[in-house]
Structures are given as structure tokens and as C-alpha cells.
Amino acid sequence: MFTVNKEMNFHAEHDCLVIGLFDKPTKFDGNLEKLDGLFDGYLTELVKSGDISAKKKAISKIHTFGKIGAKRLIFVGLGKEKEASFEMIREAFGKVFKTVKASKFGEAAIYVDTFTTESIEAQDVAHAASEALALSTYEFEGYKQKSNEPVKNIESLQVYTDTKEVEEVQAALTVGYVYGKGVNSARTLVNLPGNMLTATDMANYASQLGEKYGFEVEILEKEDMLKLGMGALLAVNQGSTEPPKMIVLKYQGKDEWKDVIGLVGKGITFDTGGYSIKPKDGIVGMKTDMGGAAAVLGAMEVIGELKPEQNVVAVIPSTDNMVSGNAFKPDDVITSMSGKTIEVLNTDAEGRLALADAVTYAKHHGANFIVDVATLTGGVIIALGNDTTGAMTNNEELFEQVLEASYEAAEPIWRLPIFEKDKERVRSSKIADLNNSPGRDGHAIMGGAFVGEFAEDTPWVHLDIAGTATTRKNHDLGPTGATGVMVRTLALLVERFETEKN
């Protein structure tokens, strides 16, 4: 799909040639001066007139009239060179590839060197381009009757660069695309309706990943959970006719099973709220309540493709949360796998119950560090909006590594505090060790503090993606619906993890 060429060839045939344009004096230099010469200087005139714009993410499509091999030139504005960032360039490519797809071009070429700066090298541009190609052209097909009109996808990407690091550019193209495809896999899982993605379906999907990448797979059935005392997850499942699953994938990238990173993802395939039932408007969209599980599975896909030298155990507690004569109810007291008892004050605070047993089971599998991801609370949306993931932790060193990964992935997180008084509120039940819903104030913090009771002394970071797992608007890197948020952050964390920092 990707081909790297060591030098620019303007006479090679392409559907389109993509060129970056920074906001600077209008005179072209180097190879772009040669290109301008092939157009008898008209490109310079178009820049001067504003028909080719260097404004950030502006797209200018020019017919070549056979003067070069490409049918179209696509200039993408990059703004001021000193202000350029990896994320902006990636978004610019996203806008380009949406234009290319809409034009029904099956192939594109990029002159990478026109996007580089002092801090952004050719391999960075290549990574941004291939990741954007996967992300921006993603579509969830859904279940409408299919049109007979053929769909034209971008099937190949030619890359031109004058850099000597051709192998590094080629590798970056592959890695970027792998990250993008992992995000898209997570998006598709989240977009699936609850009747099309049950806990059993999710377990089957995880098993297929395991078979493809050689992961060790363990799927706990209800009988296994009863034997292990997973009363928290089983309580959530009580009202359902669908059996629960505790899904485990193990990837061993080191000779010994040590320094294990545990990735725990909430896998509630549909959440009615149980007897603390959601309102009619709030219940729509609850098929997305397994966004944390999707993020973990997407990250495991990336890990399986790139094979980092780390040990990882992924644990996903999966069920739906339904209402029936058998469903758990407020005032129930349940016993988690850890032995801690929990007074249920709100059956809609079910995700933290599922995570409680999953975190305990991740430690059972030797997890030395735990990162859990969950669409846990509406409170995090009130606090941080829909663009920032809420984070909590009991360990500064682990949090710093997660923060660095999120920054590089352009998936912003913001840390919320857990103070001793927050822990006391979670422990405030008069009849059990913990209560699952101490009140609306500090809602997001209470959810994280509850999960932290099961992490105990194990270094742990909690990521609440209730606001960031989906979007209501089209954007440069994808459509409305699921975002696949935290796939890249988790994968980067595993790829760059440094044990000595913890």
C-alpha cells in the first residue's frame, strides 16, 4: 500500500500529488521551483492571488492539464512554520484524504519534505500521513440497504522524500497505519448496536485477536466467576439473559512474566441503569458503554502488530445491565472477588462494580501496573467537557508516563484529585466495606476512588472516557460516532514504558 521514493519525480503518473505549503514568501525554492517552472510560473501567481492558500488546513485543488504526471495538485496550507505541530499536520492530512476520497481517487502521492520543519522530520510526517489516511477515511457501514454505486477507496500512497532515512520513513508509514487501524477497530466495536455485540460476541472477537497475534486467551464463564467469587460483575449481570464474560488476553514480550502492564476496559455492552433506570433520552446511546473495552482491544491489536518488548495482560469484564425480576437492586449487599463487600445504592453505578472484579483479576494475573479505561460517569463530562478525558491515580510515576503517551497521541487527559476524604466517602456504608454511589457531588471522583479501592497499592491510573468516547460532529480525522479514544495512548504507553520510572 505504501511506496517510498528517494527523490521527487514530477512526471510520475498519480491521481493527485499532495504538497504542503507554509506561510512564507511566495517564491518557491528547490523542487517546488522546478514544479513552478513546469507551470510557467503560474503556481507562484496563484499563491500571490490567494487561489493557493497557506492558511492552516486550507485545501487548494489544481488541475495540472497534463503538465506533470499527476492529474491534480492538492496544496494543503500549514500556517506558520514555527507554529506547526504533529497533530496539526495529521489533521491537515485528514482533511486532504477526505478530499481525495470525495474526488474518487484511488491513489495519492505526497511530497513529504514540504511538510517538514526543524522539529518535525520526514518520518514524523510519514507517520502522521498514514495514520490520518486510516482515521479520516473510516466509515461505519451500518445496516442500510446497500447502494449499487461502487465505493472508491484510497488503495495506495506514494511517498516522495529527499531524506536519506528511507527505511525509517517506510517504517513510520507502517506504524502510523497500524495505529490508525487499531483506532478504527475500536470505533467499529463501539458503533455496533447492543444486540449485535453481546458479551459473547466481544469474547469471540477477543479470541480471534488472540488467534491472529498469538496471545494467550482466557474467557471466564459464569460458572468460573461463581467459583472465583466475582460477586460484583455477577451482580451487574443478574438481570440479563445474556451470559457474562471475563475476557483475558496475555501478550508476553519479555523472557520472564514480570513488570506486567494491566489494561482493564469496561465492557458493558448496554446499560439501562438497572432499577436506577436511565431516562428515555439518557438511555439512547448506551450501546457505547463498552468504549473502554474497545480501547483496550484496539490497543491490543496495535501491540499484536508491532510486538513491543513488554508484558501486557488485558482484562475486560463484559455484560449488559438489564432490568428483570432477577436484577440486582438498590440496598443489595454484594461481595467482590477481593472479599470487599459493597452496598449498592445505585444500580446505574454498575461499571465500577464490573471494574472492581476486573482489577482484582488483573492483579491475579500478575499485573504490576494497572490502567483502567471506562465510560464511567456523566460527572466527568460536567467537569471536563467532551474533548478531555478525566484521569485519577495513586502513583505519580505511572501517571506521568500515561500523560506523556496521551500528549503524544493528542488524546488530552486532565487529572482529577483523590483525597483521603474522597476515600472516606466511598467507605461510608454502615453495613458494608464500601458503597458504590456516595452522591452526585464529585461524581467522577467518587467513581475513580471506588475503583482505586481495588487497585490498592498497585500503581494505577483510571481514565474516564464518558465524554470523549463518542462525538456528535464530523471532524478532520473521522465521522460522528465512536472516536476510538485511548487506543493510541495505551499502545504508546506500552511501546515506550520504562519500568525504572516506577
pLDDT the model gives residue 150: 63
With a pLDDT cut of 70, the percent of the chain lying above it is: 98
Which secondary-structure segment (H or E) carries 470? strand 470-471
What are the C-alpha distances in Å from 329 to residues 43, 349, 354? 70, 11, 15
Contact present, 26 and 64 (Cβ < 8 Å): no
For cell 454484594, the residue is 334
419-448 mean pLDDT: 97
The closest alpha carbon to 32, from 92, 127, 115, 102, belongs to 115
> Is 472 a catalytic site residue?
no
Residue 501 scores a pLDDT above 80: no
Q: Kindly report the CA angle at 147 between 145 and 148, in degrees rounded to 5?
A: 130
Which of the residue ranges 147-151, 206-210, 498-502 has the most confident prediction, judged by mean pLDDT? Answer: 206-210
Which runs of consecutive H residues, i.e. helices, occur in 16-75? 31-38, 42-49
Residue 146 scores a pLDDT above 80: no
Residue 93 scores a pLDDT above 70: yes
Average pLDDT, the chain: 96
The closest alpha carbon to 497, from 397, 352, 353, belongs to 397
pLDDT the model gives residue 148: 65
128: region left, alpha or beta (phi > 0 left; psi from -120 to 50 alpha): alpha
Residue 432 scores a pLDDT above 80: yes
Three cell numbers written together for 287: 450501546
Residue 161 and residue 210: Cα distance in Å, rounded?
37
Residue 217 scores a pLDDT above 90: yes
For cell 513529504, the residue is 112
Contact present, 446 and 426 (Cβ < 8 Å): yes
Domains 2-181 and 197-501 share a fold: no
Domain-wise residue ranges, the chain = 2-181, 197-501
The closest alpha carbon to 172, from 107, 226, 125, 233, belongs to 125
Contact present, 377 and 466 (Cβ < 8 Å): yes
> Is 278 a catalytic site residue?
yes
DSSP state, 428?
Answer: -
Which residues, including other chains, have CB under 8 Å from residue 149's CB and lie 6 or more apart? none
How far is residue 225 CA from its own chain's centroid? 29
The tens digit of pLDDT for each residue in 101-127 reads: 999 999 999 999 999 999 999 999 999
pLDDT the model gives residue 24: 77
pLDDT the model gives residue 338: 98
Residue 129 and residue 176: Cα distance in Å, rounded?
8
pLDDT the model gives residue 256: 97
Three cell numbers written together for 317: 469484564
Residue 296 scores a pLDDT above 80: yes
Binding residues for Mn(2+): 266, 271, 289, 348, 350
pLDDT the model gives residue 442: 96
For the chain, helix, strand, coil in percent to 5 are 40, 20, 40
Indicate which residue of 181, 352, 363, 488 is catalytic: 352
Residue 141 scores a pLDDT above 90: no
199-205 mean pLDDT: 98
- Class of the CATH-defined domain 2-181: alpha beta
What are the C-alpha distances in Å from 355 to residues 127, 268, 288, 337? 34, 10, 16, 11
The tens digit of pLDDT for each residue in 78-92 reads: 999 999 999 999 999
Taking each helix axis from N to C end, the angle separating 487-496 and 396-409, rounded to the nearest 10 degrees, works out to: 120
Length of the chain: 502
Residue 57 scores a pLDDT above 80: yes
Three cell numbers written together for 250: 496475555
Three cell numbers written together for 358: 476486573
The closest alpha carbon to 298, from 253, 254, 320, 265, belongs to 265
Residue 402 and residue 396: Cα distance in Å, rounded?
10
With a pLDDT cut of 90, the percent of the chain lying above it is: 93
Q: How many CB atoms within 10 Å of residue 275?
A: 17
Binding residues: 266, 271, 289, 348, 350
The tens digit of pLDDT for each residue in 390-404 reads: 999 999 999 999 999
Residue 255 scores a pLDDT above 70: yes
Residue 116 and residue 208: Cα distance in Å, rounded?
39
pLDDT the model gives residue 66: 95
Residue 502 scores a pLDDT above 70: no
Residue 147 scores a pLDDT above 90: no
Indicate which residue of 56, 278, 423, 427 is catalytic: 278
Q: What is the 3-state secondary structure (H, E, C) of 109-125?
A: EEEHHHHCCCCCCHHHH
How far is residue 322 CA from its own chain's centroid? 27
Residue 62 and residue 235: Cα distance in Å, rounded?
61
For cell 449487599, the residue is 333
DSSP state, 164?
Answer: S
pLDDT the model gives residue 26: 64
Edge-first strand order for the sheet with 156-160 is 2-5, 156-160, 107-111, 14-21, 70-77, 59-63
Residue 33 and residue 481: Cα distance in Å, rounded?
43
Which secondary-structure segment (H or E) carries 101? helix 86-102
Beta-bridge mates of residue 335 = 341
246-251 mean pLDDT: 98
- Class of the CATH-defined domain 197-501: alpha beta
Residue 45 and residue 192: Cα distance in Å, rounded?
50
